[in-house]
Amino acid sequence: MKSISVDDLAALVPGVPIIDVREAEEYAEASVPGTKNLPLSALPQTLGDVPIGRTVYVMCASGGRSVRATAFLAEQGYDAVNVMGGITEWYRNGHPVTYSGGGN
């Protein structure tokens, strides 16, 4: 499975499709700017929203769900790359995050 570090991905942003496979509630609280939310639980039903013919980068909170989503997308013929460490590592490394939730 192809993987990329958050720092290497940050060097490609903006301009590459990033799919966040966390659930909608998680995504609503905090997200990487420019990502598209396609929850892992509904990914088979939302394949039409995944860009065809381009490499897509897949992230979640810390990397577990994105590994499963990346494997699933690859099985469907997509050029999918797992983002190691997810949004947690993205934030830890100082990359921009949009907060829209009403957290405490």
List, in order of start, the domains of the chain with CATH numbers: 3-99 (3.40.250.10)
pLDDT score for 16: 97
pTM: 0.94
pLDDT at 101: 59
pLDDT-based confidence at 60, cuts 50/70/90? very high
Does the structure show a pLDDT above 70 at 103? Answer: no
Beta bridge partners of 78: none
Q: Is the pLDDT at 104 greater than 70, yes or no?
A: no
Show Cβ contacts of residue 22 under 8 Å, excluding neighbours closer than 6 positions.
Answer: 37, 39, 40, 60, 61, 65, 87
